[in-house]
């Protein structure tokens, strides 16, 4: 697929502001460990990791199953 079109995998953490820092840190550590273990060897480069803060309004609009 990469030969057809260049791409880069990305993980987006969507969380509340008060949980963003510890959750982003954990996602980063888990992704680095998976990368070191060879889980992403099929990718041309390691995945990007970024976060987005979810507001209370945004949580409600996602549905009742979101806690």
Q: CA-to-CA distance for 10 and 58, rounded, in angstroms?
A: 21
pLDDT given at position 33? 97
pLDDT digit string, tens, across residues 23-61: 999 999 999 999 999 999 988 889 999 998 877 665 555
| Domain coordinates in residue numbering, the chain | 10-62
What are the CA-CA distances from residue 64 to residues 6, 19, 28, 37 (Å)? Answer: 37, 20, 28, 36
pTM of the model: 0.69
């Amino acid at each position: 697929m990469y030969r057809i079109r260049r791409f880069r995998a990305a993980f987006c953490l969507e969380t509340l502001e008060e949980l963003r820092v510890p959750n982003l840190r954990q996602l980063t550590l888990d992704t680095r460990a998976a990368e070191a273990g060879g889980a992403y060897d099929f990718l041309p480069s390691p995945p990007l990791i970024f976060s987005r803060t979810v507001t209370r309004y945004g949580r409600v609009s996602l549905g009742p199953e979101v806690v």
